Amino acid sequence: MNDVDRGAFRAIAAECPGFQARATARAITRYHNACFRPLGLTAEQFSLMVGIGAAEGATLVELALSAGVDTTTLSRNIQTLEKRSWVKAEGGRGRSGKRLSLTASGRHLLSEALPVWRHAQATLSQRLGDNQLQLLRRAMAELAVAVEPLAPNTLEDAGQPLP
Amino acid sequence: MNDVDRGAFRAIAAECPGFQARATARAITRYHNACFRPLGLTAEQFSLMVGIGAAEGATLVELALSAGVDTTTLSRNIQTLEKRSWVKAEGGRGRSGKRLSLTASGRHLLSEALPVWRHAQATLSQRLGDNQLQLLRRAMAELAVAVEPLAPNTLEDAGQPLP
DNA sequence: CTCCTAATAGTGCATATACATTATATGGCG
DNA sequence: CGCCATATAATGTATATGCACTATTAGGAG
């Protein structure tokens, strides 16, 4: 019976996409963190700043939505970027929203980070193949989209009682 | 020129596998967290307990390696599982390692969590297709493996000066 | 048998993440 | 023109993550 559990556990560990998604995200984040470390930048900070640069003047809520991150998480992450004077945030609490943009020093930092990212990206492409990497990225995006409607709020609707 | 940056930023945001991996991991983790919430369990805790159940008596280092997580992270995560009496850890500091196993109450909790996981898994399979989900899981595993040798320690070897 | 090297666990610090809740301001309704 | 419902931001609490460093101990060298 112990052996049955053991087998069941092994099967789940081997099949769970959530576990694998977290492990993969950790691994690639460690890699990018190491790449950006000389610049004093983390992988997530780089992603956020790129997101802001791609849509200057977007609000915090809009960025949170496009990044698939909770607004309270983003609020704090933006605060650390503001402390370092890489990002400017205009407007505070209230209905008009907080508009985000890069500062001059933020742009300068990104201009140094871009070649680092490209080098990391080229290394990955070389390892996995460009096609494989593209396909994987799209498949991950599809999973994120597929799982979104199942998220916390909308979950009670889809829920059957469960045995 | 501003527009050039904007375009470059958009391309990077759309191409970066790290960003997508994190967003996907966040999304599926939110989903599983919501599923397990009634049991007082998080997605990561579930994964760790399944990993322990799949290899009872394995050491902390072994589990950390198979989960692709830093040993210091795992050390703390295991501590919260110990506090709840779901996991037993024998042996402390020193060269013999810390051997992990599930307690009776940990096994009982997992027996309640398994049907929840299976339901969540079936829902995902239905949304994406079983094949697609399997392929995605394997591709993510390949990326994790490909990126591992590029991790912090071994990074300085592969590094070219960079422009 | 003793010592000491190296493998292992844990701490300090910082960032990241999200739910529950509170604080705030604004756009529209009366 | 004033009020207020609601969208938005931020805070409280808890977990998760990893690097730099410290503490501990077992296994081997002598």
Share of residues in chain B with pLDDT > 90 (%): 80
Q: Residue A94, CB, less than 7 Å from strand D?
A: yes
Which residues are within 8 A (CB) of A43 and not within 5 positions of it... i.e. 6 or more apart?
Answer: A28, A29, A32, A33, A36, B18, B22
Residue A3's pLDDT is what? 58
Q: Which of B23, B136, B158 sits opposite A139 (nearest CB)?
A: B136
DSSP label at B69? -
Which residues are within 8 A (CB) of A12 and not within 5 positions of it... i.e. 6 or more apart?
Answer: B50, B54, B114, B117
A163 vs A2, more confident: A2
Do A47 and B116 count as a contact with CB atoms less than 8 A apart? no
Type of residue numbered B104: A
Q: Which tokens is A103 given? A: 């500062």
Phi–psi pair at B26, nearest 5 degrees: -60, -45
| 3-class secondary structure, B161 | coil
CA-wise closest residue to A64 among A54, A56, A55, A75: A75
Per-residue CA distances from B4 to A126, A144, B63, B163 (Å): 27, 29, 46, 20
| 3-class secondary structure, B99 | strand
Q: What are the tens digits of pLDDT across the range A94-134?
A: 888 999 999 999 999 999 999 999 999 999 999 999 999 99
Cα B117 from Cα B110, distance rounded (Å): 10
Evaluate if residue A151 carries a pLDDT over 90.
Answer: no
Cα B97 from Cα B105, distance rounded (Å): 24
CA-wise closest residue to B31 among A161, A17, A162, A66: A17
Nucleotide nearest to B44 (CA to C1'): D16
Q: Which residue is nearest to nucleotide C21 (CA to C1')?
A: A72
User: What pTM was computed for the model?
Assistant: 0.89
Share of residues in chain B with pLDDT > 70 (%): 90
Q: What is the spatial distance, in angstroms and rounded to an integer, between the CA atom of A151 and the C1' atom of C17?
A: 15
Cβ pair B60, B72 in contact under 8 A = no
Phi–psi pair at B100, nearest 5 degrees: -110, 145
Chain B window 62-101, residues with Cβ within 7 A of nucleic strand D: 68-70, 72-73, 76-77, 80, 92-96
Cα–Cα–Cα angle for A60, A64, A67, rounded to 5 degrees: 135
Cα B52 from Cα A88, distance rounded (Å): 46
- For residue B34, the chain A residues in CB contact (below 8 A) are 150-152, 155
- What's chain A look like in SS3? CHHHHHHHHHHHHHHCHHHHHHHHHHHHHHHHHHHHHHHCCCHHHHHHHHHHHHCCCCEHHHHHHHHCCCHHHHHHHHHHHHHCCCEEEECCCCCCCCEEEECHHHHHHHHHHHHHHHHHHHHHHHHHCHHHHHHHHHHHHHHHHHHHHHCHHHHHHHCCCCC
Average confidence score pLDDT of chain A: 90
CA B150, B160, A36, A115 torsion-angle sign: negative
Q: What are the tens digits of pLDDT across the range B87-144?
A: 999 987 888 899 999 999 999 999 999 999 999 999 999 999 999 999 999 999 999 9
